[in-house]
Amino acid sequence: MAHTKVRVKLVGEDSNAYSILGRVSKALKRSDQSEAADEYLARATDGDYNHLLAVTMEYAYDEGDIEEDDVQVDEQATGEAIGFTVQDKIVVADPCYIDTNDTLEGLDRLGLILDDCHGGWIAEAVVSDEGSWGSRVKVLRATRCGAGPVHEKRCLCHNGVDSGQMFVGCVTSFPLDYNALLERYKGPDGEWNNELKFFAFAKGAVSGTGFGDGSYPVTVGYDSGGHPVSIEVKFLDNESRDEEEEDDEG
């Protein structure tokens, strides 16, 4: 059923399943989407807690998730939210750097390993319409479930990208089966699916990276206790758009 996402305060609120179900279903009903509320309740309760969180992110935005400069008429979420569980550490890196031929120690200056991340997380990609370039992933976000609000943001590094992809997920996903990942891009007829920009893989999610290869800032949000509660990798901004347009014209 087609529906419009509602804004609900999720981060920093009670993370009990029934509390989440109640807040989201009420918000949908208040926006005159009673049928969507019923559908949400049926889908969200048909699985475990991680399933509930993933379905919730299809129907609701967290109020603190969307910054004003990210809300534009040509941008939208992919419509899919991917839930994953972290034992302790999260890795953020081009998947080609964390396959069976690599070591985590070799990620220096290429990726990020973040401590103190145990628990449930939700990943979501924001896609922007880039005209003749088509739709591109502008931002990859991951939000810690049931965490407090973001108190401080820090840009910890710039991740290098050589395969036009970014992975965020539990560090126990290492080593990734990179050949299996590439198979995900093939359609039933064996042809490459250029429209696939965001999908679940291993214990995390993979997204496209704007216009492709490059170096991209990774910003981590911390709660008042200094614990990581959000991760954002920004692939597109006005400057990168202008550069691509100049290259296209040249």
**CB within 8 Å of 15: residues ≥ 6 apart:** 145, 146
Q: What angle do CA 200, 204, 208 make, to 5 degrees?
A: 60
Name 153's bridge partners: 221
**Chain-centroid distance, C-alpha 33:** 26
pLDDT at 239: 54
Q: Look at the pTM and tell me if it is higher than 0.75.
A: no
Strands annotated E in the chain = 6-8, 60-62, 75-86, 90-93, 112-114, 119-129, 135-144, 152-161, 165-170, 198-201, 204-208, 214-222, 228-234
Could you tell me what percent of the chain has a pLDDT over 90? Answer: 41
Q: Is residue 93 predicted with pLDDT exceeding 70?
A: yes
Q: Is residue 7 classed exposed, middle or buried when 0-12, 13-18 and 19+ CB atoms within 10 A define those classes? A: middle
Average pLDDT, the chain: 83
**Span 202-238, pLDDT tens digits:** 999 999 999 999 999 999 999 999 999 999 999 997 5
Q: Are 174 and 101 in contact (CB under 8 A)?
A: no
**What is the spatial distance between Cα 215 and Cα 226, in angstroms, rounded to a whole number?**
26
Question: In the predicted model, is pLDDT for residue 17 greater than 90?
Answer: no
Spatial separation of the C-alpha atoms in residues 184 and 199, rounded to whole Å? 9
